[in-house]
Chains A and B, each alone.
Chain A
Amino acid sequence: MKIRIKFSKTGPVKFIGHLDMMRYFQKAIRRAGIDVTYSGGYSPHQVMSFAAPLGVGLESQGEYFDLELNSFTTCDEIKTRLNTAMAEGIQILSVRILPETAGNAMASVAAAAYEVRFREADLPQFDWKPKLVEFLNQQEIMVMKKTKKSMKELDLKPFIFSFEIKEDVILFLVDASSAGNIKPSLILQAFMEQNQQSLSEFALLVTRMETYGYRDDKEQRELIPLEEIGYLA
């Protein structure tokens, strides 16, 4: 049986990288005494799949991974047990059972919602909000994106699904599938450049609010939080 686990990552633990988070959860699952399935061989490992890696320095309210279990009690009981094994700043938000047909967390990722703000010292020195709306409403948003080998010109527009500006906070819903995977910093960097400004490397405070997949329905491609692909029991 496969379960999908949703967690948040806030505070100092945001400086822990993705690989270390995976190691952290492997140990936490042991501490929590979850009856997880192991692969065979001399160094057996837990059968788990993480949704979308979160960069160092980013916080999140919507991280996911899937876990294969040998036996199951209830979603609530597993959630409680895991939470007693957590470090400060990491919290299990939900545990759901995945239907047999569901793809794994990583393959299911389609979009992510981000909350972005400028650090106080890095607030743009111009009236940036209307300019940003104007920028995001262009027909196309051409940027240079670094690939492994070279720089490539890319239109960001189709990857930005929606945006909203609330006071000093910018909300983005962007493509996070393996084909797109747009980082909010890339958008804002392009914006600042278009306004003849530069964006310093650590200017943004970014929180991933949710990670989305598509509802398993060929008629209607609707984005839903990854947890909603699973069900409670």
Chain B
Amino acid sequence: MNKLALKEEILLRVEKPARYIGSEINSVRKDRADVAVRFAMCFPDVYEIGMSHLGIQILYDMFNRREDVWCERVYSPWVDLDAIMREEKIPLFALESQDPIKEFDFLGITIQYEMCYTNILQILDLAQIPLLASDRTEDDPLVIGGGPCTYNPEPIADFFDLFYIGEGETAYNQLLDLYLENKRNQKSRRDFLLAAANIPGIYVPLFYESSYHEDGTIAQFKPTVEGVPATILKEIAMDLTNTCYPEKPIVPFIKVTQDRVVLEIQRGCIRGCRFCQAGQIYRPVRERDVEKLKEYAIKMLQNTGHEEISLSSLSSSDYSSLQELIDFLIKECSEKKVNISLPSLRIDAFSLEVMSKVQDVKKSSLTFAPEAGSQRLRDVINKGLTEEVILQGAKEAFLGGWNRVKLYFMLGLPTETEEDIRGIAELSNKIAMLYYETIPKEERKGKISIVASTSFFIPKPFTPFQWSPMNTKEEFIDKAYMTRTAVMEQLNQKSIRYNWHEADVSMLEGVLARGDRKLSKLLLKVYEKGCMFDAWGEMFKNDTWIETFEELGIDMDFYTTRERALDEVLPWDFIDCGVTKQFLIREWEQAKLANVSPNCRVQCQGCGATMFQGGVCFEN
């Protein structure tokens, strides 16, 4: 029986103690003596969030297939346990072995959103690993970051020994082999880092530095040592069908956010929405073979016992064998009494038919993401969804029995006017009107319910909007108010509910998303003042952040509301994600003219991703 790192009295005192005990079905236990590398894989948020992340499950499976590696998991202890661990000086431990992280060779941290940055510091701190990479010694684990936020790793560069830019399936084995070789030859940590810096996709921040102009923009970013590359090309798994995929994912004891089998059907997106980072950095689109997916579905349901299966991709409707896959799943799952959940489907006749088969129409709602209220602004952001298509989809849905609609929009998009904002309310109203026109009074089952939600637009690296100013907090709040007023003026306002996102946290996310290395000291300081779990509304301490910006003389506007010149050196320019700057500039110009760019399957836009020699670029 596994010995637990925490005393029973502690486990009985904290919320959801099962977060910390490991032993889940399909978790991997090995003998410490049999392995040469101990790897702790971390998602810096609570267990329920971290366990729902597919990327970690993939790498966990891939690493543990190696006999010489034992990969374990670690998540952020919730604040109740955090306080106890600090008080009693209990080092952070991995779930499987319950051994302290500080004894491991690697601590890998996946970085999925900016507002988890302080949680990274919490993890390092509780693990008793020096927060700054420069303070670490031969005895400390190597801290490596991965995930979408590493496409601009600079704000957190000081805390990491390495970053892995791109998809983990390709270069990790090489990195682990190098580590073993370095250890065998009794070479130092620095020797390893220097050699690792030459593995494709690996960025070792220690060997690079920025110099700045007087106005704070970057003058030059360059290597400080000989023999490391000046740009880092992202790693990408081109043969998705034959990369490893976890056939026996871990089954948590407690209910987690993604409590189901997840089939990743493809990576990347052909659409090219101009605000979307994922749509650019995962180019080109690569599909998994449908036969392989069917095989995975059966094996994974068998090995987990999950009662639900879900498809994962940025835009499932664009998967070329979707019909075949769904027909197969419907047949398999009705026999096995498994539910099918289908997120990110475009609403059309096909998807409505499928949805009516797999879910209870009365209980489910339709989701549209027009993102902008007017056709003009939708053209600016290259969201190829027209009002006609939305209304047609909604009409068919109403006839099919649906009467709940969710609409997602953004406020603060480039070139936005008051008219665009009013468009949010008007489109919501049109959909409500359409319901009453389409469904005769006697056939209506309750009234129409429309929920319109807005988030605030945050420009992200590697998007055509990376040069765009972000709105000020005041502008955001005015716009949310304007939206609310416009909704209340609509004829069907009683059927429309309007929700908006907090502005404070969006401003900070804006700073961190396009930030530079100067922000590391800000993060350290706010962490020291007790900030963590910033993504959790009730934990977020905006005043502390604002006060710390002032103390350190860091101007938030420099990162958020400032328009960047096209020739400015951006903190993430040293990363090559395949998509060229020329393409992004072209798209930025097209956006300002409200010109739409066709998707990858209609016409190649020459984004640069053809360099990877595969995927959608070579479909025909």
A contact residues vs B (CB 8 Å cutoff): 10-13, 15-17, 20, 23-24, 26-31, 38, 41-45, 56-57, 85, 87-89, 119, 201-202
Contact = CB atoms under 8 A, between A and B. Distances in A.
Interface stretch (B1-9, B166-174, B179-187, B591-599): B1-9
Given A12-B1, A15-B21, A38-B337, A30 B305 contact: yes
A20 B11 contact: no
Given A13-B253, A16-B18, A88-B23, A56 B307 contact: no
Best-buried of A20, A27, A56, A57 by chain B (most CB within 10 Å): A27
Nearest to A31: B305
Contacts of A45: 307
Nearest to B301: A30
Nearest to A30: B305
Most buried by A among B2, B4, B8, B363: B8
Given A31-B304, A31-B305, A87-B25, A44 B337 contact: yes
Contacts of A15: 11-12, 17-18, 21
B18 A27 contact: no
Contacts of A88: 1-2, 23
B21 A13 contact: yes
B303 interface: yes
Contacts of B303: 31
A64 to B, nearest CB: 20
B324 interface: no
Interface of B: 1-2, 4, 8-9, 11-13, 17-18, 21-25, 251, 253-255, 301-307, 336-337, 339, 359-360, 363
A26 B1 contact: no
Contact of A28 (B1, B17, B255, B305): B305
A206 to B, nearest CB: 12
Contact of A26 (B11, B253, B305): B305
Given A15-B11, A89-B23, A202-B12, A27 B305 contact: yes
A23 B308 CA distance: 13
Contacts of A23: 253, 255
Question: 7 tightest CB-CB pairs across the interface, nearest first?
Answer: A27-B305, A30-B305, A31-B305, A15-B17, A42-B360, A12-B21, A11-B1
A12 B305 contact: no
Contacts of B304: 27, 31
A29 B303 CA distance: 11
Interface of chain A: mostly helix, strand, loop or mixed: loop
A27 B2 contact: no
B260 to A, nearest CB: 11
A56 B305 CA distance: 24
Contacts of A24: 253
B23 A31 contact: no
Contacts of A56: 12, 17
28 contacts: A10-B1, A11-B2, A12-B4, A13-B21, A15-B17, A15-B18, A16-B21, A16-B253, A16-B254, A17-B18, A17-B254, A20-B254, A20-B255, A26-B305, A26-B307, A27-B306, A30-B306, A30-B336, A31-B302, A31-B303, A31-B304, A42-B360, A56-B17, A57-B8, A57-B12, A88-B1, A201-B12, A202-B8
B253 A20 contact: yes
Contacts of A38: 337
Contacts of B1: 10-12, 88-89
Contacts of A44: 337
A85 B2 contact: no
Greatest chain A CB density within 10 A among B12, B21, B25, B253 is at B253
A220 to B, nearest CB: 41
A38 to B, nearest CB: 5
B4 A42 contact: no
Contacts of B24: 87
A85 B305 CA distance: 9
A42 B355 CA distance: 12
Nearest to A15: B17
A152 B345 CA distance: 56
Contacts of B18: 15-17, 20
A207 to B, nearest CB: 13
Identify the interface centre among B1, B2, B303, B307: most chain A CB within 10 Å of its CB.
B307
A30 B301 CA distance: 8
Given A23-B255, A57-B12, A202-B12, A13 B305 contact: no
Contacts of A119: 9
A197 B277 CA distance: 63
A26 B25 CA distance: 13
Contacts of A10: 1
A38 B18 CA distance: 28
Given A15-B18, A30-B301, 4 more contacts: A12-B21, A16-B18, A27-B305, A89-B1
A201 B17 CA distance: 16
B2 A42 contact: no
A23 B256 CA distance: 12
Contacts of B2: 11-12, 88
B22 A12 contact: yes
A87 B23 CA distance: 7
Residue of A12, A16, A43, A44 with highest tally of chain B CB at under 10 A = A12
B490 to A, nearest CB: 33
A202 B9 contact: yes
B7 to A, nearest CB: 9
Contacts of A20: 18, 253-255
Nearest to B302: A31
A204 B520 CA distance: 47
Nearest to A43: B339
B218 to A, nearest CB: 50
B12 A42 contact: no
Nearest to A200: B9
Interface centre among B23, B302, B304 (most CB of A within 10 A): B23
Contacts of B363: 42
Contacts of B255: 20, 23
Nearest to B10: A202
Given A13-B21, A87-B24, A88-B1, A30 B253 contact: no
Contacts of A87: 23-25, 253
A160 to B, nearest CB: 25
A228 B307 CA distance: 32
Nearest to B334: A44
A116 to B, nearest CB: 15
Contacts of A57: 8, 11-12
Nearest to B339: A43
A89 B4 CA distance: 13
A12 B307 contact: no
B305 A29 contact: yes
B25 to A, nearest CB: 5
Contacts of B360: 41-43
B17 to A, nearest CB: 4
Contact of B307 (A27, A41, A201): A27
Contacts of A31: 25, 302-305
